[in-house]
Structure 1
Amino acid sequence: MKKKNFGIGVGFAAVLFTAVVLIAFKADEVRQTAAMPAVPQISASQAILVEAETGEVLYERNARERAYPASTTKIMTALLVLETLERYDSPIDQVVTVPREAEGVEGSSLYLKAGEKIRLEDLLYGLMLQSGNDSAVALAILTAGSTENFVAEMNAKAEELGCGNTHFVNPNGLFDENHYTTAWDLAQIAREAMRHPMFRTIVAAPSWDAQREGNDFTHFYNKNKTVHEFRGGNGIKIGYTKASGRTLAASAQRDGKELICVVMGAPNWFNDAYTLMEYGFKRLEE
Structure 2
Amino acid sequence: MKIKVRFILMCSMLLSLLLAPLAQVDAAPPGIHTNAVGASLIDVESGRILYSQKGDTPMRIASLTKIMTAIISIEQGNLNDKVKVTKTAFGKEGSSIYLKLGEEMRLHDMLYGLMLRSGNDAATAIAEHIGGSVDGFVYLMNEKAKMLGMDHSHFTNPSGLDEGEGHRSSPNDMAKLTAYALKNNVFQDIVSTKLKKVPNPNEAWDYSWLNKNKMLSLFEGADGVKTGYTKLAKRCLVSSASRNGHQLAVVTLNDPDDWGDHGRLLQYGFTYFPLLTLVNKGDAVEGSTGVVGRTFSYPLAEGEAQLLTRKVTLADPATTSYRLGERGTIQYLLKNNLIQTIPIYDKTSPLLQVDSQSTFSFQKSEPYQATLLSHYGYVLRMLVRELFMISESEWAD
Q: State how far apart, in whole Å, the 1-side matches of 2:85 and 2:227 are.
A: 24
Candidates 115, 125, 145, aligned match of 2:112: 125
Distance 2:41 2:181 in 1: 16
Match of residue 167 from structure 2: 179
Find the aligned partners of 1:159 and 1:270 in 2 and give their Cα distance.
30
Aligned with 1:247 (options 232, 236, 239): 236
RMSD: 2.4
Instruction: Please give the residue correspondences for 1:40-189 in structure 2 after superposition, counting only pairs within 5 Å.
Output: 40-85=32-77, 90=78, 92-176=79-163, 177-189=165-177
User: Any conservation in 2 of the 1:263–1:269 contact (CA below 8 Å)?
Assistant: yes
Structure 2 distance, partners of 1:281, 1:106, is 39
- Of 111-120 and 269-278, more deviation after overlay is shown by 111-120
In structure 1, the partner of 2:8 is none
How many Å apart are 1:99 and its aligned residue? Answer: 1.9
Task: Please point out which of 274, 277, 280 is paired with 2:266.
Answer: 277
Matched, 1:258 2:250: no
The one of 164, 188, 201 aligned to 2:189? 201
Deviation at 1:56, TM superposition (A): 1.3
Other structure's SS at 2:273 match: helix
> In 2, distance between residues paired with 1:76 and 1:129?
14
Q: Is residue 49–residue 172 contact of structure 2 (8 Å, CA) maintained in 1?
A: no
SS in 2 for 1:101: coil
Aligned counterpart, 1:5: none
Which one of 197, 214, 217 corresponds to residue 228 of structure 1? 217
Which ranges of structure 1 fall in alignment gaps of 5 or more residues?
A: 1-18
Deviations 1:40-65 (A, max 9, x none): 22100111111111111211111111
Contact 1:102 1:113 in 2 (8 A): no
Contact 1:117–1:212 (CA<8 Å) still a contact in 2? Answer: no
Q: Larger RCO: Structure 1 or Structure 2 (Cα < 8 Å, ≥ 6 residues apart)?
A: 1
The answer on whether the counterparts of 2:42 and 2:179 sit within 8 Å (CA) in structure 1 is no
Q: CA deviation at 1:187?
A: 0.7
**CA deviation profile, 1:242-265 (whole Å, cap 9, x unmatched):** 100111111111111110111111
Give the letter for the 2:184 counterpart.
H
8 Å Cα contact 2:43-2:179 kept in structure 1: no
* Shift in CA distance, 125/41, structure 1 to aligned 2, threshold 3 Å: same
Q: Distance in 2 between matches of 1:153 and 1:232?
A: 32
CA distance in 2, matches of 1:27, 1:179: 46
CA contact (8 A) 2:82 2:107 kept: yes
Which secondary structure does the structure 1 equivalent of 2:166 belong to? coil
CA apart distance, 1:280: 0.5
Matched residue SS, 1:184:
helix
Native 8 Å contact 1:73 1:173 kept in 2? yes
* Counterparts of 1:217 and 1:104, CA distance in 2: 20
Amino acid in the other structure paired with 1:140: A
Counterpart amino acid of residue 43 in structure 2: E
CA distance in 2, matches of 1:198, 1:105: 26
Task: Please list the CA deviations of residues 4-27 of structure 1 after superposition, one character each: whole Å capped at 9, or x if unmatched.
Answer: xxxxxxxxxxxxxxx9xx99x999
Question: Which of the two has greater strand per residue?
Answer: 2
Query: Number of paired residues?
Result: 260
Q: Is the contact between residue 110 and residue 217 of structure 1 (CA under 8 Å) also seen in structure 2?
A: no
Q: SS in structure 2 opposite 1:213?
A: coil
State the AA in 2 paired with 1:49. L
Report if the CA contact (8 A) 2:236-2:254 is conserved. yes
Judge conservation of contact 1:111–1:217 (CA < 8 Å) in 2. no
Distance 2:141 2:152 in 1: 13
The structure in which a higher percent of residues are helix is 1
Q: Secondary structure of the equivalent of 2:39?
A: strand
Higher mean alpha-carbon deviation, 33-42 vs 262-271, is at 33-42
Map of 2:226 onto structure 1: 237
Distance 1:237 1:83 in 2: 19
SS of equivalent residue, structure 2 residue 155: coil
- Report the residue type matching 1:155 in the other structure: N
Please give the per-residue CA displacement for 1:173-225, whole angstroms capped at 9, x wherever unaligned.
00132100000111111111111100000000001011111145711111111
> Which residue of 211, 219, 226 maps to 2:208?
219
Task: Please list every run of 5 or more consecutive structure 2 residues that lacks an aligned counterpart in the other structure.
Answer: 1-11, 275-301, 303-397
